[in-house]
Structure 1
Amino acid sequence: MLASISFAQRQRLAYIDFCLLFKGAIYRQDLINRFEVGLSAGSRDFNLYKELAPENLEYDSREKRYFQTAKFKPLFEHDARRTLIKLANDISDGFDAIGDMHFPVESPSSLNVPDIFIVARLVQAMLNQRAVSVIYTSLSSGSAARELVPHAIVDNGLRWHVRAYDRKSNSFRDFVLTRISKVTLKGEPEVNELAERDGEWQRMIPLQLVPHPKNVSFPTAIEMDYGMENSQLLINVRAAMAGYLLRRWNVDCTERGTLEGAEYQLWLQNRFTLRDVDNLAIAPGYTVSK
């Protein structure tokens, strides 16, 4: 039946499906505002969606919005990789499920693509400020149940993480999405578990990047690559993300720029000004100054 529906209406149905999957609920006005359609057209879209997937949503007359049911199964197939990129860039439309325009541009593949339903539950928890119970498999202790309070999904260039308060260690940490095998929504978190209390996430630190002093023969080329001004690139990043960026860009973080190899084209010049940043431990050549 979907094949016989107009492209425009399939877009609206995919948006309803997307909101139910990732937000757990949708107002009729959300659809009307997103697509600038009339009230009657919006009502027809919800009625058609319910006809196609009667067990996917239920209407709460008190809150005046549609909620995802326990029997929810997506009406459309949402591509996990595209959806994660859209969520990371705040493009929440679900249109990839009906065939986005494809451009001949490719990017390196990540290690693995997380389960779309795991991602959806975590996003629901973040948007509604809920804790979650998960089954997480770590390198050190194997599979075990953990309670987390997630607040952000992070792309480190190789794989996806969820940034969350971990009730086991009583600290904010990163958890690899593909190592999470089950997510159950729990109650509201404590104040100390919210993103506002994540110091490494809230703290912005400056990174002063310059062409590598030994590995680059023509630094002007590197200056052009990174849009440097006065032979340097100064960027502010979250302390929790700094190590990921430095490792992704192969930035030499040694004291005097001593890493050898053509892959090290940048050097972190202001490493001495960075203090107490746990994430920097994964950056190439970084050691704590004594």
Structure 2
Amino acid sequence: MAYIDFCLLFKGAIYRQDLIGRFEVGLSAGSRDFSLYKVLAPNNLTYDARDKRYFQTDTFVPLFEHDPRRTLVKLANDISDGFDAIGDIHFPVESASSLNVPDIYVVAKLVQAIVSNKAVSVIYTSLSSGSGARELVPHSIVDNGQRWHVRAFDRKTGSFRDFVLTRISKVTLKADPALSEQSLADEAWQRKIALEVVPHPKNINHPTAIELDYGMEEGVLQLEVRAAMAGYLLRRWNVDCTKHASLRTGEYQLWLRNQETLENTDNLAIAPGYISEEKRYE
């Protein structure tokens, strides 16, 4: 029941074969499960005989409570079991509290748009211009280490941008399919850049400890990241991106030794201390 509920909420539809394949049950057992779900939530789904698929209705209300944090992690790892809705086993492991929890229904509509390759109308509140309507074509939901955002083509500016999920207050799925605004056209998303991260040469007296922390080989952590994500990663890890390792406070335990790899990459204002060669000589 939780799996059916999860698929309807986040994909907008589910095939009977999805259920049969997921739980390795027979056709008759799968049919009984859908019948039971319809008894429990009669207004949540409708069957399209032509598509042979169950679709979410306009009056859909989740039968189960899907935890936003767990759901985002599952979506990020392509897990769609809905298991947290019926109770997970709890282990004595804690993580830092999250101050930023997106609305699960906003996430659901965005995921539906991504899965079906559709555009959405949203109300978005930005720091620079306040609240306003935008048309977006989303292609990925991303955890940048501090908060969740959606990577999307913004029809207002004609460019691919990041939109913080908690600043989206309303999402409406549009009927027209997206054409040239898909992820393959997002140059910064498709392009990978190589980062060489090392223990900070001026702030760390015992670099072996840092090498162990990050699993470095021969004193270097080699990373390949999307250009669109590089700034977030460097900020999250407090990597000193100055040319001569000049950030001297204690939180900077790492240094990017191949700073030149960041040239021609956007969204680096958040990379600690980074100044492009072009800006350096202005």
One fold, TM greater than 0.5?
Answer: yes
Candidates 256, 259, 262, aligned match of 2:250: 262
Q: 1:243 to 1:94 in 2, by over 3 A?
A: same
Q: Please, which moves more after superposition, 261-270 or 48-57?
A: 261-270
Alpha-carbon separation, structure 2, partners of 1:26 and 1:54: 16
Give a deviation string over 1:229-285, Cα, whole Å, max 9, x none: 111011100000001000000000011101012211100000113221112221111
What is the identity, as a one-letter code, of the residue corresponding to 1:128? Answer: S
Give the corresponding residue for 2:40.
52
Give the corresponding residue for 1:238.
226
Q: Quote the offset at 1:21 in angstroms.
A: 0.1
Candidates 184, 199, 209, aligned match of 2:187: 199
Candidates 127, 134, 140, aligned match of 2:115: 127
Alpha-carbon separation, structure 2, partners of 1:273 and 1:107: 33
Alpha-carbon separation, structure 2, partners of 1:235 and 1:121: 33
What is the identity, as a one-letter code, of the residue corresponding to 1:224? Answer: L
Alpha-carbon separation, structure 1, partners of 2:16 and 2:41: 17
Alpha-carbon separation, structure 2, partners of 1:103 and 1:177: 28
**1:1-290 residue pairs with structure 2 within 5 A?**
13-290=1-278
Verify the 8 A CA contact 1:151 1:164 in the aligned structure 2: yes
Q: Quote the offset at 1:192 in angstroms.
A: 2.6
Q: Please, which moves more after superposition, 83-92 or 270-279?
A: 270-279
Verify the 8 A CA contact 2:137 2:181 in the aligned structure 1: yes
Counting aligned pairs with the same residue, the percent is: 74
Alpha-carbon separation, structure 1, partners of 2:91 and 2:270: 34
Give a deviation string over 1:48-89, Cα, whole Å, max 9, x none: 000000000000000001000000000000000100011111
Q: 1:190 to 1:116 in 2, by over 3 A?
A: closer
For structure 2, which runs of at least 5 residues remain unmatched after alignment? Answer: none
What is the identity, as a one-letter code, of the residue corresponding to 2:5? Answer: D
What is the identity, as a one-letter code, of the residue corresponding to 2:15? Answer: Y
What is the identity, as a one-letter code, of the residue corresponding to 1:157? Answer: G
Verify the 8 A CA contact 1:110 1:157 in the aligned structure 2: no
Alpha-carbon separation, structure 2, partners of 1:26 and 1:59: 10
Alpha-carbon separation, structure 1, partners of 2:107 and 2:262: 33
Verify the 8 A CA contact 2:117 2:178 in the aligned structure 1: no
Q: Quote the offset at 1:189 in angstroms.
A: 4.3
Alpha-carbon separation, structure 2, partners of 1:217 and 1:194: 47
Alpha-carbon separation, structure 2, partners of 1:188 and 1:208: 43
Alpha-carbon separation, structure 2, partners of 1:243 and 1:189: 31
Verify the 8 A CA contact 1:21 1:74 in the aligned structure 2: yes
Please report the RMSD computed on the Cα atoms of aligned residues, expressed in angstroms: 0.9
Q: Indicate the SS of the match to 1:281.
A: coil
Alpha-carbon separation, structure 1, partners of 2:178 and 2:61: 31
Q: 1:32 to 1:190 in 2, by over 3 A?
A: closer
